[in-house]
Amino acid sequence: MACTERDKAEELFRSLRIHPALCEVLVQRGIESYEAAKEFFRPSIEQLHSPWLMKDMDKAVDRVLLAFERKEKILVFGDYDVDGTTSVACVYHFLSRHYDHLDFYIPHRYREGYGVSKAGIDFAHQNGFTLIIALDCGIKSIELIAYAKSLGIDFIVCDHHLPDDVLPDAVAILNAKQPGCPYPFKELCGCGVGFKLICALCDRMERPPDEAWWYLDLVATAIAADIVSMSGENRVLAFCGLEKANRDPNPGIRALSTLSAHEGPLQINNLVFMIAPRVNAAGRMDDARKAVQLFLSGTVNEAMGWAEQLHIDNSQRKETDTTITEEALALIGGDETLLNRISTVLYQPHWHKGVVGIVASRLIEHYYRPTIVLTRSGDVVAGSARSVTGFNVYEAIHQCRELLLGYGGHFYAAGMTMSPDNVEAFVERFEQVVRASIHPDLLIPEILIDIELNFRDITQSFYNILAQMEPFGPDNLRPTFITRGAVNTGYSRVVKDKHLRFSLRQDGITFTGIGFGMADKMPLLENNQPVDVVYKIDVNEWNGEKSLQLRMVDVKASREANTQ
């Protein structure tokens, strides 16, 4: 269970006069004073840092404006995922309002692969582009950016991935993680970095800041999809972006919401589970250019045409990843060697490259360990890695770099390419690295519980304050609670053969809720013995009526012998 400093929580309670349990949760998250709480609960655009604090921002702005002056052709280049396509849509749209000589380029996932590509540079050279703005990629493209320079093409790199010791020879590198960058917040996503460039250009061009704020809903979408920290500046951007998405959404977001039959205000979960998968599906199954076209649409009707294409791509994606996950689970289950490993690395040349990352995540739900799924991509083998809490899978892959053609990523997710001849050696090497570096405790999934509650604590006013902690995400997860010694009321039941609709009582207070995929817990409730239940609190809406409900995370027999 998460630890908290009670004296700080008590001091915060005296300032805020909200439920003591919520004060403890806030202190756990570093919010220890009235001023910090006010800033947390009331995010505003004024809390954003100046874009000029970012190293090389002046160089980037100067180079863009020089291109305007010289009437150079500018190519806006970005990755094929949500972060990349929203980045390109934002920067391209802003530049197009002030300048005509530009285009955008998204590398094809299968023909070119991740990041800056030779094909993209050759396209720029053949079509007379002399400046490329690379978004959500480029920080590791040392050789390719040198190649572009030899062709007379300058690069501005806007990236958020961890840089290596050697940086590319670009005219400007915007990346808060690079050495010597004083920018206070280091966890912007790629679209966040592109947004900062837009803000700086607005400032230099003496344009109203509202021109930059227009892109906030796309920035929020990228933050949600890229699973970056939901603290500091990202929390402000996501909060303001959701406000924009509900007040005056980008036509693409509105079209996807309509197509998904979504009703009510958009929340961060809607961006994660409704918008992002459909945008990602374009690059996974076909061509991500149409995701950019979706966000560049001038009207909802125009956007709806692109949204329908993405919806079809997403349906194909879901069918494909289900099939491959079933195949992968069968491979592991039928091989004693694979079952006994502490890492999973699977390779099948026919698997669809666009869903291997999703499949890796699904496998971790069954076999909780660092996982890599590989497939054939042209003449090479390409794959995606996913990790378990606390284990740096990027570093583990880095230690296998002599077997790789290329790699990149984050602490919990990474991608790599290799020669087919190196697959077997890589499987063994990765297992050796994981075995030598992972602590055994990290192979056991754990539930981090914020604090214990009694059912009588859960009131509408309690929930109203809890809801103001949104948007939730990494470093600001939706709080998880535990209640001990609850008993089944007799009305709990299994629904649709796999979900648990439960009704529990503690000290005369009854709460109902849902445990998705937890039908196997029903016998525990049927024992009519006290249980400890771990849950999150949300709202259930039925026939126009709203009520608080518990979303079960886990349940086990209580150690307490008390009866209700």
Helix 82-96 to helix 289-296 angle, to the nearest 10 degrees?
50
- Tell me which residue has tokens 């396209």: 123
pLDDT at residue 448, as a whole number: 92
Q: Give yes or no for residue 62 having a pLDDT over 80.
A: yes
One-letter-per-residue 3-state SS of 159-213: CCCCCCCCCCCCCEEECCCCCCCCCCCCCCCHHHHHHHHHHHHHHHCCCCCHHHH
Looking only at the bridges linking them, the beta strands covering 154-158 and 172-174 are parallel
Domains in the chain: boundaries: 51-311, 334-443, 480-557
- Reported as a single tens digit per residue, the pLDDT across 410-421 is 788 899 999 999
Question: 346 by DSSP, 3-state: which?
Answer: strand
pLDDT at residue 518, as a whole number: 95
Q: Give yes or no for residue 113 having a pLDDT over 90.
A: no
Question: For residues 343 and 337, what is the distance between their CA atoms, to the nearest angstrom?
Answer: 11
Determine contact, residues 409/161, Cβ cutoff 8 Å.
yes
Distances in Å between the alpha carbon of 218 and those of 135, 143, 175, 222, 474?
14, 31, 19, 6, 19
Which contiguous run of DSSP H or E holds residue 417? Answer: strand 413-418
What pTM was computed for the model?
0.90
pLDDT at residue 4, as a whole number: 54
Tokens of 146: 């040198």
Measured distance between the N- and C-terminal CA atoms of the chain, rounded to whole angstroms: 25
Could you list the beta-strand ranges (E) of 10-99. 73-78
Q: Which CATH number fits domain 334-443: 3.30.1540.10, 3.40.50.80, 1.10.10.60, 3.10.310.30?
A: 3.10.310.30
Assign domain 480-557 to its CATH architecture: Beta Barrel (2.40)
Average pLDDT over residues 404-432: 92
pLDDT at residue 560, as a whole number: 61
- Reported as a single tens digit per residue, the pLDDT across 475-525 is 999 999 999 999 999 999 999 999 999 999 999 999 999 999 999 999 999
447: number of Cβ within 10 Å: 10
The torsion angles phi and psi of 68, rounded to 5 degrees, stand at: -60, -50
Tokens of 454: 């009694």
Per-residue b or e along 16-41, where b marks 16 or more CB atoms closer than 10 Å to that residue's CB: bebbebbbbbbbbbebbeeeebeebe
Between 232-241, 275-284, 447-456, the lowest mean confidence (pLDDT) is in 275-284
| pLDDT band at residue 92 under the 50/70/90 scheme | very high
Looking only at the bridges linking them, the beta strands covering 493-495 and 499-506 are antiparallel
Residues 202, 206, 208, 214, Cα dihedral to 10°: -20
Helix 276-285 to helix 300-333 angle, to the nearest 10 degrees?
70
Between 18-32, 77-91, 101-115, 353-367, the lowest mean confidence (pLDDT) is in 101-115
| pLDDT band at residue 561 under the 50/70/90 scheme | very low
Tokens of 58: 């002046």
Q: Which CATH number fits domain 51-311: 3.10.150.10, 3.40.50.300, 3.40.50.720, 3.90.1640.30?
A: 3.90.1640.30
Determine contact, residues 204/52, Cβ cutoff 8 Å.
no
Per-residue b or e along 346-372, where b marks 16 or more CB atoms closer than 10 Å to that residue's CB: bbeeebbbbbbbbbbbbbbeebbbbbb
pLDDT at residue 375, as a whole number: 96
Mean pLDDT across the chain, nearest whole number?
Answer: 94
Strands across the sheet containing 380-386? 344-347, 371-377, 380-386, 413-418, 406-409
Alpha helices in 438-472, H assignment, sequence order: 460-467
Distances in Å between the alpha carbon of 409 and those of 168, 271, 384, 527?
17, 22, 9, 47
Question: For residues 211 and 208, what is the distance between their CA atoms, to the nearest angstrom?
Answer: 6
> DSSP readout, 349-386?
TTS-GGGHHHHHHHHHHHS-S-EEEEEEETTEEEEEEE
Average pLDDT over residues 451-465: 96
- Tell me which residue has tokens 């849950």: 535
The sign of the dihedral angle between the CA atoms of 320, 326, 331, 337 is: positive
- Reported as a single tens digit per residue, the pLDDT across 157-213 is 999 998 989 999 999 999 999 999 999 999 999 999 999 999 999 999 999 999 999
- Reported as a single tens digit per residue, the pLDDT across 129-173 is 999 999 999 999 999 999 999 999 999 999 999 898 999 999 999
Question: Which amino acid is located at 259 in the chain?
Answer: L
Determine contact, residues 524/556, Cβ cutoff 8 Å.
yes
pLDDT at residue 412, as a whole number: 87
Higher pLDDT, 2 or 235: 235
Bridge partners of 407, per DSSP, are: 416
